[in-house]
Structure 1
Amino acid sequence: MIEQLLPNASQMTDDFVQATIETIVMVSVAMVIAGVIGLLLGIVLLVTGEYGLRPNRVVYWTLDQIVNIGRSIPFIILLAIIMPFTRLLVGTSIGTTAVTVPIVVGTIPFFARQVQNALLEVDPGVVEAAKAMGTSDTGIVFRVYLREGLVSLIRAASFTIINLIGLTAMAGVVGGGGLGSTALQDGYQRGRTDVTFTAMVLILIIVFITQVIGNIAVRIASHGRS
């Protein structure tokens, strides 16, 4: 029955397994790199903001504009713009490794803003109490902002990962590998609707699993604070 409903996809089991692995690898690598840089950038935006621990109008304005511009560039255009940089960095502009570069670049400003907004939700009264107790700025960042804002940060990370999965699918346009490439090149361009459909279902499954893991992490973090 499966062969009748999915005549082409049923013969591409190994290809789908490989594409799924490539998608997971791209998302994982991009999230680790963009997560670390985006977290640091988000913290700097928070600290140097008007009501931050160390307000600095020049630093904040500069980083804020970089984040705004980075979030505004359509990903498909970003792929083309930084292609020379990608080729210089990894030696090629095609394939899973190459497409990870623009995915990271496109995710950093997105996650940085998510981090900033998440940490801004921390109760200012808790921050003021920490200041009154003589806690250093570094201590406030790690013991107050990151600790109190952990649940919001997990939600932001989960949302960012789901966005990343969408970027990997879009990267298939330039032969970036993964399920997006399978859906477009092996499915759509060859008129194999069942292949495109199967790739889409696998992408949705990854998104669903990510959401479930995120929800579990949020519950665990919320329980730990209670």
Structure 2
Amino acid sequence: MKIKYINCNPMRVRNLQMKLFTPDTDSFRKYVIALHGFAGSMESWAITALADKLTEEDTAVIAFNYPGHGTDEQDELFSLGNCIRDFQDVMEYMNIRLPDAVWQGIFATSFGGYITLNSLQLIPESVRIVLRAPAVNMQDVFARIVERETSGMTEYKETGHVQLGYERKLKVPYSFYTELCSHDVFRTDHKRPMLLIHGDCDDVVLPQDTIAFCERNPQIVRKTIAGADHLFRKEGELPQVITAAVDWLMK
């Protein structure tokens, strides 16, 4: 597997960081776009594990950093709208640079799943979608993170921002939360077949939320991994995710 880092400057003030995984032969005819979670990055171990398998199927994988994530230092540009536009810019980049390659699928984790659900009108019906622990109720997920990791939502609203993150902290404006509230994908019938993979011990994206979401969208196949938390960290859990994802994406 080959890895190439790409900096792209779309037709707006934004330096977009991308990571392209390709087969050693460079003979791929298909590609998958991967979206990481909130406070994650394109260096995600799950994305790398997926790419390792898909490149064996002559399929490339491209991932990208949202503003203020990973090594992207454009924190001031972080917003839901800009994350969605970044996703659209990656779509356009691949279409222009690889016009003969087929957009085979999407692998989206947590907040990345939420971005995907907000972008379905941009995604051709032929593109196969895998949602890994998707934040289908993102405004609730985010509010619980703020309550758990900071002084709470009241102070967040009063100060207008909050510092969140793991390896690095991101200054998240209160306007981001208002964007989440105005982009509710939880109560929507998306009329689209997808695979949703979730652990039944996830305390970030609650299992009851994805169950209710799939009941509202019966065309979505829900695969449960027993005992798994949000990150699928225990031995054998991530391989189950990757096997199911590859099977769905390559159908």
| TM-score between both structures, scaled by the size of structure 2 | 0.22
Larger radius of gyration: 1
Structure with bigger helix share is 1
Larger RCO: Structure 1 or Structure 2 (Cα < 8 Å, ≥ 6 residues apart)? 1
| TM-score between both structures, scaled by the size of structure 1 | 0.24
Structure with bigger strand share is 2
